[in-house]
């Protein structure tokens, strides 16, 4: 909108899916919600990833490491980088005015991914299912505003 970038993603089930796939979708959506709950002024960014990782792994799933959330504005990928797993080195604090995405990718099997020969298509390394949900947030003193809802 007027040169500003937004970013969102949602995984949809097509037709009837098995119980594991439905659970993957439900857990991944909840991971996004838990990450958003941590997107508060004064919190270190790592709390977002810690909440996501804790919930995904407690439910038997793995968190993709190679792809992250990100700041955005006039460009699609800006600072800060938003990890979807806990990293004690990510000590930067969340401040009012930040705009970033949270977009966890959760896998049934291994967290590892591979890129196809086309240089674009990404698959899980073990061929099992994956899901992703994403929102763009604006951080205010009162809490996060979901811009892509």
Q: Reply yes or no on whether the pLDDT at 149 is more than 90.
A: no
- Residue 65: closest CA among 30, 28, 31, 111: 111
Q: What's residue 16's pLDDT?
A: 96
Q: Where are the domains of the chain?
A: 19-146
Give the three-class secondary structure for 75: coil
Q: What does pLDDT average to over the chain?
A: 96
Q: What is the pLDDT of residue 5?
A: 83
**Structure confidence at residue 78 (pLDDT):** 84
What's the rounded mean pLDDT across residues 26-44?
A: 99
Pick the CATH number of 19-146 from 1.10.275.30, 3.90.230.10, 3.30.1600.10, 3.30.70.100: 3.90.230.10
For residue 37, the model assigns a pLDDT of 98
* Tokens coding 13: 């089930």
Instruction: Tell me what pLDDT residue 77 has.
Output: 86
Burial class (CB in 10 A: 0-12, 13-18, 19+), 105: buried
Query: What local confidence, expressed as pLDDT, does residue 57 receive?
Result: 99
- Mean pLDDT throughout 41-63? 99
């Amino acid at each position: 909108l007027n040169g500003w970038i937004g970013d969102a993603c949602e995984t949809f089930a097509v037709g009837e899916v098995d119980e594991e796939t439905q659970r993957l979708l439900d857990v991944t959506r909840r991971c996004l919600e838990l990450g958003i709950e941590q997107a508060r002024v004064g919190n270190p960014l790592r709390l977002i990833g810690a909440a996501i990782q804790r919930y995904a792994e407690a439910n038997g799933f793995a968190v993709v490491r190679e792809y992250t959330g990100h700041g955005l504005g006039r460009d699609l990928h800006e600072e800060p980088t938003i990890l979807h797993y806990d990293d004690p080195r990510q000590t930067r604090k969340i401040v009012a005015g930040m705009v970033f995405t949270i977009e966890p990718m959760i896998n049934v099997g291994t967290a590892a991914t591979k890129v196809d020969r086309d240089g674009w298509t990404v698959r899980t390394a073990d061929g099992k299912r994956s899901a992703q949900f994403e929102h763009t947030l604006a951080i205010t003193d009162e809490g996060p505003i979901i811009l892509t809802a």
